[in-house]
Amino acid sequence: MNAKYTKMAKGNEVERQWFVVDATGKTLGRLASEVASILRGKHKPIYTPHVDTGDFVVVINAENIHLSGKKLDQKIYRKHSGYVGGMKETPYRKMIAEKPEFVIEKAVKGMLPHNVLGRKMAKKLKVYKGAEHPHGAQNPKTLEIKG
């Protein structure tokens, strides 16, 4: 009766690692899906759907992300204030010039669960414009992502 049960991870047992991903030349969606998978912990054998088993991910060079097709001119970010006529639209070209970190964060958050657990996982994502980041003390490993 003791050898047939599946091991379920507990939140305090999880050992977290740090990874650095360089976004230069990578496609936004492919990068976001790989990063979301690491944040969820799906690359680990102890993955448990209802427990945050993921690792920390630092994304650098966010301004050098790539989109395929005509999305550079056609993709639009929308937000609404809640008031009548409160819709604001920002084209991708302007968003990547002003806040490239937001573009990657939004893409990754959309691929995480939309609940308390997903918000907890999203806090482990650190995105920076440029090649410098303040997480050198954690000795992050370089992670190669195709695309």
Residue at 7 is within a domain: no
Number of Cβ within 10 Å of residue 146's Cβ equals: 8
pTM of the model: 0.91
Residue at 76 is within a domain: no
Residue at 74 is within a domain: no
Residue at 112 is within a domain: yes
Where in the sequence is the domain holding 105, given as residue range(s)? Answer: 17-67+99-142
Quick: pLDDT tens for 1-58: 566 788 889 989 899 999 999 999 999 999 999 999 999 999 999 999 999 999 999 9
Beta-bridged to residue 26, according to DSSP, are none
> What's the 3-state SS for 72-91?
HHHCEEEEECCCCCCEEEEE
Domain count, the chain: 1
CATH of the domain at 62: 3.90.1180.10
Smallest CA-to-CA distance from 43 within 120, 143, 147 is with: 143
Quick: pLDDT tens for 65-123: 999 999 999 999 999 999 999 999 999 999 999 999 999 999 999 999 999 999 999 99
